[in-house]
Structure 1
Amino acid sequence: MLEKAIEKIRSEVNQNSNNSYNQVIGELLLKHLNKNPEAAEKILAEGKTIAKSLDAMKKVAGKKKTGNFAMLTLEEGFKAVLDYYGIKAEVKIEVPEPPELVSVDSKPAVEKKKIDFDIKLEELL
């Protein structure tokens, strides 16, 4: 069953390869399935698609709407997707830490040698 769920997700992602939403959610669902293979049955439910999960996410975002603007965190968005599929799970998305800043000295790495060079235009004529 797990293999069929993975195949279904990959198929949806490949069919909509120009849709970044499908790509991101498909990848998150695959990672979730790897850690929670028991969710495969819910992914395979008749009529459930990644594209339709966007509507579920829009509904959740609509509840947080202020004026013409709504925003969800990664966790809130993916939780809406899992709820759409009927998957009850705690959502924890790991965001990579930014690289540590390295201080840069103002001195050049290699000391330049002072070259004694003096030429006059008259000497070249």
Structure 2
Amino acid sequence: MSTQAALDKLRAEMTAAKNNQYVQVIGQFLLGYLEEHSDSADKLAAADKTIAKSLDAMKAEAKKKQSNGMAMLTDAEGFAIVLSYYGIKGSVTTQAAAAAITVTSAPAAKTAGTDFEVSLDDFL
């Protein structure tokens, strides 16, 4: 499969799960990974592999490490598990992991006629 087919598949999964922030984070990581490692396109485009199932693989791995009902993975460990799920051998740099989880928030869009501002101090 082509790199474009893998990109399309990942984006479609992300769109279908647009309210699942974990799918979005893993999806962004995989999109970035694919840009740098186009040779992994076939593995990422595999019909039987999904971002959601990669989260299940991460959960299963975390359960093996749990202590007192709690388990933690570093970003790099989690992303390495995702790559392994897709059958990709390699390591994840902390920099790549951090880039995938960077969240930016856009300012709320102004609508027409919303120039009205009130402060609590105006009432005191």
TM-score band (shorter)?
0.7 to 0.9
Could you tell me the TM-score, scaled by structure 1's length? 0.74
What CA distance in whole angstroms lies between the structure 2 residues aligned with 1:41 and 1:93? 25
**Large movers: runs of 4+ above 2 Å:** none
Map of 1:112 onto structure 2: none
**Alpha-carbon distance in 2 for matches of 1:8, 1:85:** 14
Offset at residue 56 of structure 1 (A): 0.5
Say how many residue pairs are matched: 96
Q: In structure 1, the residue corresponding to 2:73 is in which secondary structure?
A: coil
User: 1:4 maps to which residue?
Assistant: 5
The structure with the larger Rg is 1
Instruction: Tell me the residue number matched to 2:64.
Output: 63
Residue in 2 that maps onto 1:23 = 24
- Counterpart residue identity of residue 3, structure 2: L
CA distance in 1, matches of 2:91, 2:31: 16
Which residue is equivalent to 2:42? 41
How far apart, CA to CA, are the structure 1 residues paired with 2:47 and 2:7?
15
Residue 53 (structure 2) aligns with: 52
What CA RMSD, in Å, does the superposition of the two structures yield over aligned residues? 1.1
Distance of 1:50 and 1:82 partners within structure 2: 10
Structure 2: stretches of 5+ with no match in the other structure: 100-124
Larger RCO, structure (CA 8 Å, separation 6 or more):
2
Tell me the CA shift for residue 63 of structure 1.
1.4
